[in-house]
Amino acid sequence: MINYLYDGSYYGFLCTVYHVEKSTAYPAGIHQNAVPYLSGLYQTKHIETNPVLGERMHKRIQEKMGRETTRYIYYANLAGETNAPIWLYEYLLRGKALGLNLNKHIADNTVFRIHKLCQKVTGERHRLLGLIRFRLSNNGFYYSQISPDHRVLELMGQHFASRLANQCWIIHDTKRNLALIGQTGQYKIVPWHLDGNEYIEKDVIENAWQKYFKNIAIPERINPKCQANCMPRRYWDNLIEKPQEER
């Protein structure tokens, strides 16, 4: 049995599925490269991402199981869940039997858990699009920090590239040391280890936000439970309107 390792990308996963299918044995595991430990009992095979092969697999899955299946695979692969790759492989095995009806079998746990992962990823993207706060640095770029549960950076690029087309901006995923960098309507993801806050001084607008939040809100109408439902507490450290002592 073989443990398969891939680079975490969508095409990387599809290339891995291709190699697993060529093997005669069920995989011992399928993992993204960040996996901390693998048992020495099984052979480990690193899969190189081949965009041509990945695109061929993508089209094959769409033809046999529908476009929405590739969408579910793409989003679930970003979840960062340790078991997601092997769950996705099992999802595709069910797809071989169910074909275009795969995603109608929501009561099937193999299908349900992939739909659930997809829902978590898209839900976090949606929340962060409204919760990201940019601050202007001394060097003239707009900087924001996030620490998402899932790898959602690549799902935000087009949104901010179109809205900040005339600005230089950085969204820093501090949990994964990656940054989404945009300029002149273009964007890319790069490794990033710097703390952009070192180049930022608290400005008048930030002070005004914090003063409003702390002093002007109506005490009788404060509803922490409702607030936490709309803005989960795990995101509060990156909200500039929250006074430091209330985060």
List pLDDT tens digits, range 45-65: 999 999 999 999 999 999 999
Q: In this predicted structure, what is the pLDDT of residue 63?
A: 97
| pTM of the predicted protein model | 0.85
Per DSSP, 156 falls in state T
Is the pLDDT at 218 greater than 80, yes or no? Answer: no
Give the tens place of pLDDT for each residue, 67-78: 999 999 999 999
How far apart, in whole angstroms, are the C-alpha atoms of residue 84 and residue 210?
Answer: 40
Q: Report the pLDDT averaged over residues 200-229.
A: 72
126-133 LR contacts (CB < 8 Å, sep 24+): 127/231, 127/232, 127/235, 128/152, 128/156, 128/235, 129/156, 129/159, 131/231, 131/235, 131/238, 131/239, 132/156, 132/171, 132/238, 133/238, 133/239, 133/240, 133/241
pLDDT for the residue numbered 170: 94
Task: Please count the other Cβ atoms lying within 10 Å of the Cβ belonging to residue 18.
Answer: 16
How many angstroms separate the CA atoms of 167 and 169, rounded? Answer: 6
Vertex 138, ends 205 and 131: CA angle to 5°?
Answer: 45
Q: If DSSP codes are grouped into helix, strand and coil, which group holds residue 14?
A: helix
| pLDDT, tens digit (0-9, with 9 covering 90-100), for 19-45 | 999 987 889 889 998 665 565 677 889
Q: Looking at the predicted structure, is the pLDDT value of residue 215 above 90?
A: no
Is 8 a residue whose pLDDT tops 80? yes
Query: Each residue of 174-208: pLDDT tens digit?
Result: 999 999 999 988 999 999 888 766 767 666 667 77
**pLDDT tier, 222 (very low <50, low <70, confident <90, very high otherwise):** confident
pLDDT score, position 247? 52
Contact between residue 63 and residue 89 where contact means Cβ atoms under 8 Å apart? no
Angle at 177 between CA 173 and CA 180, to 5 degrees: 50
pLDDT > 80? residue 240: no
3-state secondary structure 169-221: EEEEECCCCEEEEEECCEEEEEECCCCHHHHCCCCHHHHHHHHHHHHHCCHHH
Write the pLDDT tens digit of every residue in 85-129: 999 999 999 999 999 999 999 999 999 999 999 999 999 999 999
Of 164, 163, 172, the C-alpha closest to 143 is: 172
Q: Where are the domains of the chain?
A: 2-124, 133-199, 204-246
Does position 246 have pLDDT exceeding 70, yes or no?
no
Reported as a single tens digit per residue, the pLDDT across 135-169 is: 888 888 889 999 999 999 999 999 999 999 999 99
